[in-house]
Structure 1
Amino acid sequence: MEKDPLTIIEQTEDHLIERIAENMQAFGMPSTVGRVLGIIYMNRKPMTLTELSDATGMSKTRMSQVVRDMLDANIAEKVFEKGVRKDLYDVEEDYYQTFITLFTATWSKVVSKNKMMHKKLNRELLSILDEELSPEAEEKVNELLKELKEWLDYYNWLGRLIEFFESEEIFKYVPKP
């Protein structure tokens, strides 16, 4: 028995929404964020909190929190539509841009956090170099300072990689199809 074309369409959309939800988890985002992103994307037009609540079965309070997370991650935006009194939310329809946004946001936090840790640890190690240290301790401090320098070099490189993506220069070397 053949399936109804509308059933096939709905099942395909559901599968795509689930894939988007799983992909969001790979970026450290909750699958609910991915599910909502997929629902708005498949809807092909902005949606209200009420529409999103109905589509997901989540409460409006929970939906509001999920949408706020999406706004904070820059993967959704509040849009204005003449004649519509409720807030509408839309998502970027360009998968490449969504990837760049998620990739750079995630790694920017990592870079920032590690650079701050580098500064703290480096300062502490340099401060004990002024003290009387055994040759072994002084050697260990110098090894750690060298390791911290390599660590900083790595996070500076990662920062440049983030800029490479944000500038979209990546597409010169890895073109979109």
Structure 2
Amino acid sequence: MENLPNQIEKLENQVVEKIADNVYTFGVSKTVGRVFGIISLNRDPMTLEQLSEAMGMSKMRMSQVVREMIELNLAEKVFIKGVRKDLIKVENDYYQTFIALFTANWRKTISKSRLHEHSLYQKLIDLREEGALNKELEAQLDNLLKEIKGSLDYLNWISRLIEFFESGEIFKHVPKVEDK
């Protein structure tokens, strides 16, 4: 029979992989998910060196992964008196992690889509102002403008949904399950 420390290490690795899978469903790399899992299980902030060793990757690559995690609001650098190295901490609240992942992906999508929609809208307005449109072309333009307006309304709705999550208002309607 395998010794207890090896069994526990295998189980920890399975937990880290499950966390990586969960994060991956939000469009985030499994590498970010694994690092998140490792820090979560450690419970204390970790240095880049510790993370590099735990993941078996270079400090440079680990620095890139940590930067991505910070951009996604999954991690933050923390200061502890007497420690000269950067320490990386993650939120151990699964609800907040979900909100960070959910909102980060939607913010990116909204940003790209809004730029595209506004560009298309402006091109359509410019075409309309050039004039010389027959009834059929004017109807096509109107349909496209209506479609873009609907898309922008949808993007604004998603923005409000993000605010609903980030403000914590969601928990008034879908309460967290509290440990008893």
1:94 aligned residue: 93
Segment of structure 1 superposing worse, 110-119 or 155-164: 110-119
The CA distance in 1 between the partners of 2:126 and 2:51, in whole Å, is 55
1:79 aligns with 2:85: no
1:21 aligned residue: 20
How big is the shift at 1:155?
0.8
1:39 aligned residue: 38
Equivalent residue pairs, number:
176
**Residue identity opposite 2:16 in structure 1:** I
1:145 aligns with 2:145: yes
1:156 aligned residue: 156
Where structure 1 has 5 or more consecutive residues not aligned to the other structure, the ranges are: none
Superposed structure 1 runs of 4+ greater than 2 Å apart? 3-9
Q: Secondary structure at the match of 1:77?
A: strand
Root-mean-square deviation over aligned CA pairs: 1.4
The CA distance in 2 between the partners of 1:54 and 1:110, in whole Å, is 34
Q: Secondary structure at the match of 1:74?
A: coil
User: Deviation string for 1:123-174 (max 9, x for gaps)?
Assistant: 1112212311122111111111111111111111111111110111111111
Where structure 2 has 5 or more consecutive residues not aligned to the other structure, the ranges are: none
The CA distance in 2 between the partners of 1:148 and 1:79, in whole Å, is 43
TM-score norm. by structure 1 comes to: 0.93
2:63 aligned residue: 64
User: Deviation string for 1:31-62 (max 9, x for gaps)?
Assistant: 11110110011011111111111111111111
How big is the shift at 1:85?
1.9
How big is the shift at 1:116?
2.0
